[in-house]
Structure 1
Amino acid sequence: MKYFLMICSFLLLSIPAKAQEFKPLFNGEDLSGWTEHGTERWYVEDGELICESGPDKEYGYLRTNETYKDFILTLDFKQESNGNSGVFIRSNLEGTKISGWQVEVAPMGSHTGGIYESYGRGWLIQPSPEDEKALKPDDWNHMKIRVEGDEVTSWLNGTQMVHLEDEKIGEGTGSIALQIHSATPGNEVKVRWKNLRIHVLD
């Protein structure tokens, strides 16, 4: 037993510090810790967070109640129907008008992993067409976003999509928010999310 405990202790100590410091943003049961903006649908099904076009088919957002400045965020998403969505960093909302920067989540060829500034300069950087092939349509995708100071880096399924240094982003503060894009009749948006985890950087 003594040797067994020693081995267990060694294994725990060998886990990288950052892996130990990640904590869940979504509890897999309900929307605790988040606030909805707009009429679009956000709900939990089988431990997954789902966004889906509602009756108005307009933009909608689900934002964290806490604000985050410097962090590493990891998550998995699966696009169903029209998968146009996104992850906002350092964002602020008034109704459904958002200020901040979006790491794009979109169908193939629509710049998933790129960074877009809403109600501002528009596209700041897009991934190369070759890197965009990292997206797996109709399957689960793993995204990682690192935000530190004035730098933002995104990865999709292990491929670095973009790296951006921007003074305006460096000055920003706010929440993390998930977006559902507006839709047209017959072209509704639906995206599944899971394993949302964050490591706050000192």
Structure 2
Amino acid sequence: MRMIQRTSLFCTLLGVLVLLANAKQESKGWINLYEANSTKGWTPRAKVESFESVDGELHLFSKVNVWVLSDLQMKDFVVEGEVKIPLDYKGFNSGLGFRLAGDQGKPKGYQCEIDQIKPAAIYGIGLGGWIYPNKQTAGEYAQRVQGLFDPNSWNHFRVRCLGPNAKTFLNGKIVAEANDLVEAKGSFGIQHHGKGGLVRFRNLRARPL
């Protein structure tokens, strides 16, 4: 009996050590995508009404569809952050862009959708439009995303991109999957679609894979 108890205790301790090691490894390599009181390293691709860092958040307001791109570029990565959308326009649309390319104007690449209609869906900017969901995966997407997005609160978005594969997560739950993305190094980006008020981002960070 004592031998069984000791073996059980050893297995439990080993499991705890593995979890701690994984958590420590997960915390390594993160890069904050902006400084606390600065927008240095970010460039608007069109006219914005305001783009500033306030109390550790990025605030973006525009009357035209605009992307703001990071100087930092990655190919394979995890990127995440929290977003608070305005409530003055129900159709408000934003996005968290990744693998974005192009020297000026609207970039080409991919975005994790940020809105009340298709949150955490994957869209190809200049690359054919909706990647996930499509006609075949619409039902699966609807089931996955149901009840996840809270327009009255901060929502956590995460994108994991490795080779041709990408997955998005909304508030800790997997939402979208794509398996045929263009493998290219690119910038990250945040978007304001030009209608509605101020969109707020915080805790934006990325780590290479």
Q: Considering the TM-score relative to the shorter chain, is it more than 0.5?
A: yes
Residue 194 in 1 paired to residue 207 in 2? no
CA shift digits 1:69-127 (9 cap, x unpaired): 00001101111134410011111234322211111011x2x211111112231101127
Q: Among residues 17, 25, 50, which one is paired with 2:59 in the alignment? A: 50
**Which structure would you say has the larger Rg?**
2
Higher strand share: 1
Gaps of 5+ in 1: 1-9
Partner of 1:125: 132
Q: Which amino acid aligns with 1:68?
A: M
Checking the alignment, whether the CA contact within 8 Å between 2:45 and 2:106 is kept in structure 1 is: no
Partner of 1:78: 84
Distance change in 2, residues 1:179/1:93 (3 Å)? farther
SS in 2 for 1:90: strand
Checking the alignment, whether the CA contact within 8 Å between 1:59 and 1:96 is kept in structure 2 is: no
CA distance, structure 1, for counterparts of residue 97 and residue 128 of structure 2: 15
Structural mapping, 1:105-120, within 5 Å: 105-106=114-115, 108=116, 110-120=117-127
Partner of 1:5: none
Identity among equivalent positions (%) equals 27
Q: Which amino acid aligns with 1:76?
A: E
Residue 178 in 1 paired to residue 190 in 2? yes
Q: Among residues 159, 162, 180, which one is paired with 1:148 in the alignment? A: 162
Once the 2 structures are TM-superposed, how far is the Cα of residue 190 of structure 1 from its aligned partner?
Answer: 2.3
Q: CA RMSD in A?
A: 1.8
Residue 104 in 1 paired to residue 113 in 2? yes
Q: How many residues align?
A: 179
Structural mapping, 1:18-33, within 5 Å: 18-33=26-41
Q: TM-score, normalised to structure 1's length?
A: 0.82
Once the 2 structures are TM-superposed, how far is the Cα of residue 50 of structure 1 from its aligned partner?
Answer: 0.8
Structural mapping, 1:64-75, within 5 Å: 64-75=70-81
Gaps of 5+ in 2: 1-16, 134-139
CA distance, structure 1, for counterparts of residue 187 and residue 80 of structure 2: 15
